Amino acid sequence: MEPIVDLRSDTVTRPTPAMRRAMAEAVVGDDVFGDDPTVIELERRVAALAGKEAAVYVPSGTMGNQLAIRSMIEEGDEVIVERESHIFRYEQGGIGANSGGLAHPVVSERGAIPVGTLEANLPDEGEDDHDARLALVCLENTHNRHGGAIVPLEQIRAVAAVARGRGVRVHLDGARLWNASVATGVPIRDWAAPVDTLMMCFSKGLGAPIGSILVGAAPVIRRARRHRKRWGGGMRQVGVLAAACLHALDHHVERLADDHRRARALAAGLRDAPGVEVAQPETNIVFIDLIDPALQTGALLQALEDRGVRLLAFGPRRLRAITHLDVDDPGTARAVAAFHDVLAGAMNPSFTRRSP
């Protein structure tokens, strides 16, 4: 039996043998007491990498985003978010539930909020007691629902300049910022410079089993650390996990270029397949749109699963495939071959159709 080619997400990666050794040998303390040396080293290193004063290690990207919001707004404040962003779509209304804030979604161009859109949604000069106070703008890079699109640094700088000119802070959901950095050659420090806080994940492209990090000014991170404790995110001998993240920083960043190359190979291999349209990936996310009405999402996914390939439905007529550490060149080729086989079968009347 050949191994499963799991393209559902870059979160499905498993620790490499070297990463497991690093975890087993980690020197640990109690992170709530602030004396886990491996966590301290991870936070110090990433804060320096991003050019920020401080960092806090958190269990998930969602917690990192929500801590940033909670630490920079007050109840009743307004937060501008991109309509397709992870913060707006996939964090269970956390702006309101966790921080008492008001989410104000706006439309973007492939994840990049145009400066004109931001300006049009800024309140009039001066305070009006009827209005929510705009306190924060949230950005995302790379952008998941826009197919791993890289939001240009110039766009982030321009939006941040307009926001800061009105006293509004900026948070960047950089769950896959490592991918943007490797794809463009722009260092993390440059991406982080225009924004007040930045969250990055270790558990996606970098292949660590758990963990994200929030960086920013020391007072904001101190407040985030306090809220982390309230939300149950205080961890004890978590250096075991921080060691995996340090290993990933040393060994798994530059290799993201391989994931990008394989995403392009996957897209190229499917582009001439019947009944589908495939977007050209910028990083490691490939969108496959089902154009032929004979193709049904549920049946297609099951047929691929039967052939050892896993993808994710990303809408009624769209599939998402993400390349990552656990998918090599032969696995990419197997996925292409399985997809062609399944599509050929889908055009056959004997193909078993199931509801999407």
pTM, two decimal places? 0.94
Q: What share of the chain is helix, strand, coil (3-state, %, to 5)?
A: 40, 15, 40
**Backbone dihedral angles phi then psi of residue 163, each to the nearest 5 degrees:** -65, -50
Which is higher by pLDDT, 252 or 348?
252
Q: What contacts 157, CB < 8 A, 6 or more positions away?
A: 194
pLDDT exceeds 70 at position 354? no
Tell me the pLDDT tens digit for each residue of 18-72: 999 999 999 999 999 999 999 999 999 999 999 999 999 999 999 999 999 999 9
- Domains of the chain in sequence order: 15-251 (3.40.640.10), 255-346 (3.90.1150.10)
Residue-level pLDDT at 72: 98
- pLDDT tens digit string along 96-108? 999 999 999 999 9
Q: How many CB atoms lie within 10 A of CB 287?
A: 20
Per-residue pLDDT at 352 exceeds 60:
no
Collapsed DSSP state (helix, strand, coil) of residue 309: strand
Q: Which residue has the tokens 């969108």?
A: 287
121 closest CA partner among 103, 140, 109, 141? 103
Place of tokens 């699109």: 149
Query: Does the structure show a pLDDT above 50 at 356?
Result: no
- Alpha carbon distance 23, 43 (integer Å): 17
Assign 353 a pLDDT band (cuts: 50, 70, 90).
Answer: very low
